[in-house]
Amino acid sequence: MISIPTAVEACIKKRPFLEDALVEGLINLSALARQLKPEIEKMVDREVNDSAVIMALNRLVPRLEVVTAKKAKCVVENVGDLTVKSNLADYTFRNTSSLHKCQANLLDQINEMKNIFCTFSQGIYETTLVVSEALTDLVDEIFKGETLVSKNSNLSLITVKLPMDNALCPGVYYYLFKELAWENINIVEVISTTNEFTIVVSDEDIHRAFAILMSAKQNGIRLGVYQTEVAVR
């Protein structure tokens, strides 16, 4: 049987946004305790009162603040250069035995082109292609025999460079993506390599997304001692 504080912490850790709101002091602890109580009672296998849950929350918040501040500091120190590219289109195709030939054909034809963006991201059942809009006619022609799942245009991307040891800092993606989620930025695609990641967003969101990530890079993540406000709305 686990203790009430352990159960409360487990409940909070399953809800990252709730954890952040607690750290920022945005949550009414009494109301939260009432909401969590049925789940906690199931975990501890007995009835609990609101005051016990509130006490556990009060004791948990200072620890969350310390942990969050350390993680945020790690994220801020790991954020490298930001690169923006616009005028992009996004295709997703079903994986087939002929899809690789289409990819090879496209790469062969654009090999000598300058200032062209093209990247593939293959999943188990489908493959996504992000290209410069100048290539859309060529992509439409080469992949016309493939099953198109979706196509989006008027897109832009931001690539974030990370140092070699970023894998040692947990939560790098989470803290930056959370900043975008707080500001209601929809991420169309995510492209990741070992030392960089790229987010694809709509053209109308690119300026806000860049401002948010740049603010996080320069001034720190909004949490704990790194609290900041995004200047661009």
Task: Encode pLDDT of 101-115 as tens digits.
Answer: 999 999 999 998 988
pLDDT at 65: 67
| Residue 147 in domain | yes
**Domain check: are 33 and 97 in the same one?**
no
pTM: 0.66
**Domain check: are 56 and 96 in the same one?**
no
DSSP string computed for 71-87: HHHHHHHH---EEEEEE
**Domain check: are 35 and 99 in the same one?**
no
**Domain check: are 125 and 29 in the same one?**
no
Q: How far apart are CA 213 and CA 148, in angstroms?
A: 32
**Domain check: are 136 and 215 in the same one?**
yes
Positive/negative CA dihedral, 9, 166, 159, 92:
negative
Domain that holds residue 22: 4-68
| Residue 77 in domain | no
Q: Which region among 48-57, 165-174, 183-192 has the lowest average model confidence (pLDDT)?
A: 165-174
**Range 19-32 average pLDDT:** 84
Identify the band that residue 183 occupies on the pLDDT scale cut at 50, 70 and 90: confident
- Taking alpha carbons only, the member of 167, 168, 178 closest to residue 226 is 178
Indicate the DSSP class of residue 184: T
pLDDT at 216: 74
Q: Domain total for the chain?
A: 2
Which residues have CB under 8 Å from 25's CB, separation 6+? none
**Domain check: are 183 and 120 in the same one?**
yes
**Domain check: are 93 and 64 in the same one?**
no
**Domain check: are 118 and 151 in the same one?**
yes
pLDDT at 182: 81
